[in-house]
Amino acid sequence: MTIQDLLRKTECEPRTVRPAVNIYEKEDRVILEAEMPNMERKDIGIEVNGNDLIITGKRASDIPKEYTVIVQERCPVDYRRVFTLGSDIDRNSISATYTNGVLALTLSKTKDAQPRKITVA
């Protein structure tokens, strides 16, 4: 009996998923963290279109082509998530990093949205 006899061959269909996120803020910025494991930076897309912040990603199969698949439960994935930006976010000051499977976006708030201290004369 071989491993092929023990395990039923499964087909893996690509699917689109919404990455899980954490969103938190400070006085001058909002941080959005999206869970997108096993991605290459080049396969992550971030776009601002009007009031929409669109996060996309494409994770391909990681099984080498020269192997025959017996079981593949870690399927290719297309990530997509859309967020509506409020007027307090500066659309020109968004930055992104990708570390340990987490995409972190820093969304700076506009100057008008940030608290300011007023000196009493």
Q: What is the pLDDT of residues 25-45, one digit of tens each?
A: 998 999 999 999 989 999 999
- Between 85-89, 98-102, 117-121, the lowest mean confidence (pLDDT) is in 117-121
Q: Does 20 have pLDDT greater than 70?
A: yes
Number of domains making up the chain: 1
What average pLDDT score do residues 14-24 get?
Answer: 93
Give, in order, the Cα–Cα distances in Å from 50 to each of 30, 56, 85, 92.
18, 16, 9, 12
Q: What pLDDT score does 3 carry?
A: 62
Give, in order, the Cα–Cα distances in Å from 113 to each of 3, 13, 70, 105.
61, 44, 55, 18
Asked whether residue 67 is assigned to any structural domain, the reply reads yes
Indicate which CATH number applies to the domain containing 88.
2.60.40.790
Asked whether residue 118 is assigned to any structural domain, the reply reads no
Asked whether residue 33 is assigned to any structural domain, the reply reads yes
**Choice between 45 and 67, residue whose per-residue pLDDT is larger:** 45
The residue among 103, 80, 98, 104 whose CA lies nearest residue 17 is 80
Domain limits at 102? 14-113
Task: Read off φ and ψ for residue 113, nearest 5 degrees.
Answer: -85, -15
Assign 107 a pLDDT band (cuts: 50, 70, 90): very high
CA distance 4 to 66: 17
Q: Please state, for a pLDDT cut of 70, what percent of the chain lies above it.
A: 89
pTM: 0.80
Assign 116 a pLDDT band (cuts: 50, 70, 90): confident
Asked whether residue 36 is assigned to any structural domain, the reply reads yes
Q: Are strands 15-17 and 77-84 parallel, antiparallel or unpaired?
A: parallel
Give, in order, the Cα–Cα distances in Å from 30 to each of 75, 111, 114, 116.
32, 13, 11, 17
Task: Read off φ and ψ for residue 3, nearest 5 degrees.
Answer: -60, -35
Asked whether residue 45 is assigned to any structural domain, the reply reads yes
